[in-house]
Amino acid sequence: MILHSNILGEGIPFVILHGFLGMNDNWKTMGQKFSEEGFQVHLVDQRNHGHSFHSSEFNYDVLVVDLKTYCETNGLKHVILLGHSMGGKTAMLFATKYPDMVSKLLVADISPRFYPVHHDGILSGLSALNFDVIKSRGEADDLLSKYVSDFGTRQFLLKNLYWIEKGKLALRMNLDVLKEEITEIGEPLPDQARFEKETLFLKGDRSEYIGVEDENIIKNHFPNAQIITISNAGHWLHAENPDDFFDAVIKFTK
């Protein structure tokens, strides 16, 4: 099966992968801006997310196979590849396995290292959404606020809501499988994985996902990597400081 995507513009192929519990729509505004710079932007939904297919199998190896199939089906060669968070892990592994398919790699606020499970509250909140009772986005937000205090995070999560039929809401992501396979999200890049081409890691100055201790890990896997900090931004750096994020990406890709 082929991953769902939203394709914007014409030019150099530029593939963007969203993070855990996200979807390609999270990158629509930024993707449109990139497309105006001479790129054909592919905003991709990874499996069990967004409009892409659901599957009981979920780990970075299969996400990489999905991406390879997508690129081959769409005739994409030498792509610029950008991934955020979970999407960054997919992008890193893809680039190390298929370096000839990637011209430049960009990784947004994630390191190649292992991360412990830290989405318990979010997953509990999403699991508590009973759509036999909840009949509006406002009601869903009210309930979710008992588990997730940050308004911006809730709005990000509630983008997954859609009307499965008249009067009946549902979540687009495959929540049951994502909960079952949650430990896969934090898996590290294999020790031997390396990508020699130009790579850019972007981190938010208010985020703890990439620390000083990660710099050697990054260089071990990506010897031609540079790491830059986006100011006034946390983990969702492309949404929190879109102007600086955009400028950094364009400077690297041009």
Enzyme catalytic residues: 85, 176, 235
- Take residue 49 and report the two structure tokens written for it: 């997310």
Within 8 A by CB and 6+ apart from 128, the residues are 143, 144, 146, 147
C-alpha to C-alpha distance for 131 and 229, rounded to whole angstroms? 40
Q: What is the largest CA-CA distance in the chain?
A: 53
C-alpha to C-alpha distance for 160 and 139, rounded to whole angstroms? 14
Query: What count of other Cβ atoms lies within 10 Å of the Cβ of residue 205?
Result: 12
Where does 74-231 have alpha helices with state H? 86-97, 120-127, 137-144, 151-158, 175-180, 214-221
- Take residue 198 and report the two structure tokens written for it: 């130009």
Strands 12-17 and 79-84: parallel
Reported as type and span, the H/E element at residue 204 is strand 199-204
What residues form DSSP beta bridges with 105? 81, 199
Local structure of residue 54 (DSSP, 8 states): P
What residues form DSSP beta bridges with 171? 161
C-alpha to C-alpha distance for 53 and 181, rounded to whole angstroms? 16
